[in-house]
Amino acid sequence: MRLPGFHRNDRGRLDVKMTPMIDVVFLLLIFFVCTASFYAVEQILPADVSLSGTTVSDEAVPPELRDVEPIIIEILWQNGEARWRIDLRRYERLEDVRRALAASVALHPNLPVILDVEGAVPMENVIDVYDLCRQVGLREIQFAASVDA
């Protein structure tokens, strides 16, 4: 008995080609390795987060900074723009903040800085001020946090 044409094995072997699949796997591996390397680790930022209302022992503060008042930089968000206030004086431009910080560093190079950020401020503005503090030579930078945060 002869089999009908659709039952014949005229198509040949049905093999899965492994070479293209291995190529795709390696391309995916390279893609994920390259994209994963762009994330910055949070722990490399040299800043301490302290809650208001908590106490810090005097041993954590170096002796030369015990009598120095920290610079408090408030970052505010008003009308879709960032504004800054340093020790109750308002600044409209980041360059003015740079000049004020540079003048403070000239008086005392190891001043501690506290960044008090309003909740609506975008992170890029916070990073700009943080980088600005590091550029002018301020190394003791902390972030203020509310107790309910």
Per-residue pLDDT of the chain (149 residues; tens, 9 = 90+): 565 655 555 566 677 788 888 999 999 999 888 877 655 655 555 555 555 555 555 455 555 555 668 888 888 888 888 889 988 889 888 899 899 888 888 887 788 888 888 888 888 888 898 999 888 888 888 888 776 65
Q: Is 117 exposed, middle or buried (0-12, 13-18, 19+ CB in 10 A)?
A: buried
Residue type, 70: P
Whole-model pTM: value is 0.55
pLDDT of the residue at 25: 93
Half-sphere exposure of residue 23: CA atoms within 13 angstroms, side-chain side: 4
Residue type, 145: A
Distance separating alpha carbons of residues 145 and 35, to the nearest angstrom: 32
3-state secondary structure of 79: coil
pLDDT of the residue at 32: 87
Question: CATH for 47-145, among 3.40.50.300, 3.40.50.970, 3.30.420.270, 3.60.15.10?
Answer: 3.30.420.270
pLDDT of the residue at 29: 92
Q: 75 with 82: CB under 8 angstroms? A: yes
Domain coordinates in residue numbering, the chain: 47-145
pLDDT of the residue at 27: 93
